[in-house]
Amino acid sequence: MTDRARIAILISGAGTNMAALVYASRMPESPYEVVLVAANDPAAPGLALAAAEGIATFALPHKGLTREAHDAAMEAAVLAADADHIVLAGYMRILSDGFAARWAGRMLNIHPSLLPLYKGTGTHTRAIAAGDSHAGATVHLVTPELDSGEVLAQIAVPITPGDTPESLAARVKLAEHQLYPRAVADYVSRWRNPAWLLTQLRTRALALPETCEQESFGSAGFRVGEGKAGKYFAYFSDRPHGHDRIALLVKTSGMDELHALTEDQPDTYFKPAFYGASGWVGIVLDRPDLDWADVDAWLQRSWRSVAPRRLTRLMDAADAF
Ligand code: GRF
């Protein structure tokens, strides 16, 4: 598969989650491959396993370096490996804000609690002390604020009578090893997941004034205007007639523009069945490099071309200046 995501895994210790990620990546159809395992401790046992698996490794102790300098060196190794995502797996370092910000949306972490409960360390001790029935693990996006990014996946694990932090940690890890590879795979392949694409599109289309969603011939459609007078300005098309792509259909200014787009950028634009005859264009959504700002622009344009005059009058006036 050519479009596999390239992940770099950062560890500090045992690396059992790293191992789970590596072995899951060896299964057929894995949407990611592990291109680097890096550690802030050259003695981290996980490094030896990664090397034995033929994966590039990098180690740099943080002692004597500023946080920014150490992060910069780790990041340089990640970039040299041409990784597109960073996956933290027991990486016991607080990241500098700049590092986290530069990888926003492309850096994941696993935390051994049911976030937002028990951020930071000592999670199992705290869950047992609180008398919780369950502990668990959370996969989340990394943001500058510790353990606070968007939650991508969670799994609950029961706390049993007599559990110690160690026995509970071991049980939670079994669950982590199932959760993490699955969450990483889902995340890096979301660009071709129709449900995710539709959610993204829906949020954007419904953010425009006086819009609603209405199904049309089995596809999600988006309309502007009230009731029967409303008009469609966009359709979500999941592998339509004759196409194996997931697409957004929007209105162009007419046949000339439609033909220019499909001729100049055939990987992005196509003439859809039926709608193409009246100047609608298909925009391929399942592309790893899709620019959602472009999608926004197209939605706005298409909305504006059919929205009632009372909604567009102000915009037209603004354009006149
Ligand atoms: C895991 O419990 C993970 O949730 C936490 O650190 C631990 C790493 O363990 N962030 P391992 O090195 O993957 O075995």
Euclidean distance between CA atoms 243 and 233, whole angstroms: 21
Question: Quick one: angle between helices 16-25 and 45-52, nearest 10?
Answer: 20
- Measured CA to CA in angstroms, residue 27 lies from 21, 83, 210 at distances of 10, 20, 47
pLDDT at position 2, please?
57
Q: Could you identify the atom of ligand 1 that is nearest to the CA of residue 172? A: 2
Chain-centre distance of CA 149, in angstroms? 12
Q: Which of 62, 70, 85, 111 is catalytic?
A: 111
Instruction: Provide the pLDDT for residue 281.
Output: 97
Answer yes or no: 111 catalytic: yes
Using a 6 Å CB cutoff, which residues line ligand 1?
Answer: 11, 13-18, 89-90, 110-112, 137, 173, 176
- Predicted pLDDT at 250: 98
Question: What pLDDT does 229 receive?
Answer: 86
Q: What percent of the chain has pLDDT over 70?
A: 98
Tell me the best of 11, 21, 47, 110 to mutate to test the pocket of ligand 1, counting ligand atoms within 8 Å of each CB and taking the most.
110
pLDDT at res. 1: 42
Of 216, 263, 258, the residue nearest 240 (C-alpha)? 216
pLDDT for res 227: 84
Q: How far apart are the CA of 183 and the centre of ligand 1, in A?
A: 15
Q: 162 CA distance to ligand 1 centroid (A)?
A: 22
Q: What is the Å distance from ligand 1's center to 15 Cα?
A: 7
All residue ranges of the chain with pLDDT < 70 are: 1-2, 240-243
* Residue ID of nearest Cα to ligand 1 atom 7: 90
State the DSSP string of 8-36: EEEESS--HHHHHHHHHHTSTT-SEEEEE
Are the CB atoms for 95 and 74 separated by under 8 Å? no
CA 134 remoteness from chain centre: 27
Predicted pLDDT of residue 242 = 65
Q: Which atom of ligand 1 is nearest to the CA of 19?
A: 13
In this structure, the number of other CB atoms found within 10 A of the CB of residue 96 comes to: 18
User: Which amino acid residue places its CA nearest to atom 9 of ligand 1?
Assistant: 90
